[in-house]
Amino acid sequence: MDDKTLKRGYRNAWILTGLSLLYICGFYYLTMRSNRVPKPTTWDMGGVPFVPGSGVEAEGYARSYVPAGTPVGAEKK
């Protein structure tokens, strides 16, 4: 093999190696960026540290309570 062909082969091998590393790093970056742990869902209490069931901030939640011992299907009435 002559020197010109050998140098071109080495050059192409390094270009292919660099593109492969770029692909691997890019794939890793996109995978880590798109698979983050979601933020936990929080209940906005309007800045109130404790919300009793009868409070204004608990509107809609206080009526969803079903007492213990209620037969199944009876809470839908």
Reply yes or no on whether the pLDDT at 34 is more than 80.
yes
Domain range annotation of the chain: 1-35
pLDDT per residue over 1-10, tens digit each? 789 999 999 9
DSSP codes of every residue in 10-60: HHHHHHHHHHHHHHHHHHHHHHHHHSPPPPPP----TT-S---TTSGGGTT
Which is more confident, 75 or 58?
58
What percentage of residues in the chain have a pLDDT greater than 70? 55
d(CA 32, CA 35): 5
Q: What is the mean pLDDT of residues 43-55?
A: 65
pLDDT per residue as tens digits for the range 51-62 = 666 666 666 655
pLDDT of residue 39: 81
Contacts of 65 by beta carbon, 8 Å cutoff, 6+ apart: 53
